Amino acid sequence: MKRVLPWIVPAGILLVWQALSQFGLLSGQVMPAPTAVAEAFWRVTRSGELWRDIEISTWRAFAGFAIGGGIGFALGMLNGLSRLSEKLTDSTLQMVRNIPHLALIPLVILWFGIGEEAKLFLVALGVFFPIYVNTLHGVRSVDRQLLEMGRAYGMSERAIFWRVVFPGALPSIFVGVRYGLGIMWLTLIVAETISASSGIGFMAMNAREFMMVDVVVVSILIYAALGKIADSVARLLERTCLAWNPVYAEV
């Protein structure tokens, strides 16, 4: 019963939606019926066009995430461990952080045109900050008493990093990763909608030109599903890596 409870409201909405379309109260040009959306999904899946678009969008998302997240992680670690490096770069980064990365779209199109670089750049930039900020915060909040213990027990600098600093910063890094994943999809949706010749955003814009509302709704749902899958994988990783933490032990 408990497992069914959360599904009652969404199922009800679907039923009402279907009924409204069925009785002509909801125009197919505004919102196609759930069955019409399912049909459109079947169509684009069979033609193979959907898989190509999902593949290219997913590739863009994760390549951008890897670049931005990798640099953010490295700089966060460096600035957390070295006062000099932090003094040198942190205030600049904090200033740049105030610029919404999507505001750079016109500039990015000028620089890169509508090629892959533009989308990778925007995603990487968007993902960079949450990972950087949370890695830095994680390293800073590592228990000093544990660091002192490591030193008193003769751990090498390397051992202190891998056994104390990194695991200590990991919960915070995961917060950054999950936040970054959200920004990753959001940035990609905007970038693909504005300028692309492939990908899910392109599929949606293309369908719009031909007034295929059902396909537009399908692409929106695909974005939602991809976002949900990425977040679930991150949660699973988090729960596995942080099993020691009583906060994640239950569930």
Partner 1 sequence: MNVSVLDHTPDTNVRFSSVGAAVSLRGVTKAFGQQKVLHGIDLGIPAGQFVAIVGRSGCGKSTLLRLLAGLDQPTGGRIEIDGLETGWRERVRLMFQEPRLLPWQRVAANVEVGLTHARDGNDRRRQAIEAIEQVGLSGREKEWPSILSGGQKQRVALARALVSHPGILAFDEPLGALDALTRIEMQTLIEQVWLDKGFTAIVVTHDVTEAVALADRILLLDAGRVAMDVTVDLPRPRRRGDPAAAAIEGRILERLLER
Distant-in-sequence, close-in-space partners of 4: CB < 8 Å, separation ≥ 6: none
Contact 181, 230 (CB under 8 A): yes
Of residues 63, 102, 104, 146, which one binds partner 1 by CB under 8 A? 146
| Under rule CB under 8 A, residue 92 binds partner 1 | no
| Under rule CB under 8 A, residue 106 binds partner 1 | no
Q: Which of residues 152-211 bind partner 1 (CB under 8 A)?
A: 152-155, 163-164, 167-168, 170
| Under rule CB under 8 A, residue 244 binds partner 1 | yes
Residue 61: closest CA among 209, 227, 233, 246: 227
User: What does DSSP assign to residue 165?
Assistant: I
Q: Which one, 66 or 146, has the nearer CB to partner 1?
A: 146
| Under rule CB under 8 A, residue 102 binds partner 1 | no
Residue 48: closest CA among 205, 195, 203, 208: 203
Torsion of CA 152, 153, 156, 158, to 10 degrees: -100
**Distance of closest approach, residue 26 Cβ to partner 1, in angstroms:** 53
Give first-to-last CA distance, the chain, whole Å: 18
Q: How is residue 149 written in tokens?
A: 């213990």
Q: Which one, 120 or 170, has the nearer CB to partner 1?
A: 170
**Distance of closest approach, residue 118 Cβ to partner 1, in angstroms:** 40
Distance set, CA 101 to CA 90, 115, 123, 169 (Å)? 18, 18, 9, 26
| Under rule CB under 8 A, residue 148 binds partner 1 | yes
Q: Which one, 23 or 153, has the nearer CB to partner 1?
A: 153
Contact range with partner 1 by CB under 8 A, out of 69-77, 105-113, 188-196, 242-250: 242-250
User: What does DSSP assign to residue 163?
Assistant: I
| Under rule CB under 8 A, residue 114 binds partner 1 | no
Contact range with partner 1 by CB under 8 A, out of 105-113, 143-151, 172-180, 221-229: 143-151
Contact 201, 191 (CB under 8 A): yes
Residues that bind partner 1 (rule: CB under 8 A) add up to a total of 21
Positions touching partner 1 (CB under 8 A) are: 145-146, 148-155, 163-164, 167-168, 170, 242-246, 249
